Structure 1
Amino acid sequence: MGKVFLVLVAVVLVVYSLYDLLATPRERVQHLPKWGWALLIVLAPYAGALLWIVFGIAKGRPAGGPPPPRRPRGPLGPDDDPDFLRGL
């Protein structure tokens, strides 16, 4: 039962890491090109997947990119909306 669990964990780690690698934009990948990370993840399932999760993706926004869009601050509910309260 223990061997099955270890194999299952390795398969889940590899599938998750490969999906995350494919979904990550090229400019956010660091230290290796995408094909290098894919090769590392497939050849060394535990180490490669964990290295990708910890070191492969640049944290925060990409350098030189625009700042994340800001949500406009507006009324949060009907009781905070002056137009709604005026109509009561």
Structure 2
Amino acid sequence: MVRVLIYALPIILGVWAIVDCAQTPATAVRGIPRALWVVVIAFMPMAGPLLWLTVGRTRGRGSVRPAPRRPVAPDDDPDFLRGLG
């Protein structure tokens, strides 16, 4: 089982890194162009995907800005309560 893992891990990691590279927006790719990243990932079995994960893409920071807080119910909304009176 360990032998299978030794051969399967670089393949799985490489395929995942290529798919991730292809789906990453061009503005989030760092260092070299995306096509060259795919070549690096494909021809460097363990180092390529690890380089992509550490150097090639910017880290996700979640949404750009949080959504504005809104009242949960109408009776919590000051504008709604003003309209009642």
For Structure 1 versus Structure 2, the TM-score category normalised by the shorter chain is 0.7 to 0.9
Number of paired residues? 77
Tell me what 1:19 maps to.
19
TM-score under structure 1 length normalisation: 0.72
Matched, 1:71 2:67: yes
Tell me what 2:32 maps to.
32
RMSD over aligned Cα, in angstroms? 2.5
Identity %: 31
Q: 1:82, CA displacement in angstroms?
A: 1.4
Q: Which has the larger radius of gyration?
A: 2
**Which portions of structure 1, spanning 4 or more consecutive aligned residues, are displaced by more than 6 angstroms?**
none
Give ranges in structure 2 of 5+ residues lacking alignment. Answer: none
Tell me how far apart the structure 2 counterparts of residues 9 and 75 of structure 1 sit (CA, whole Å).
Answer: 48
TM-score under structure 2 length normalisation: 0.75
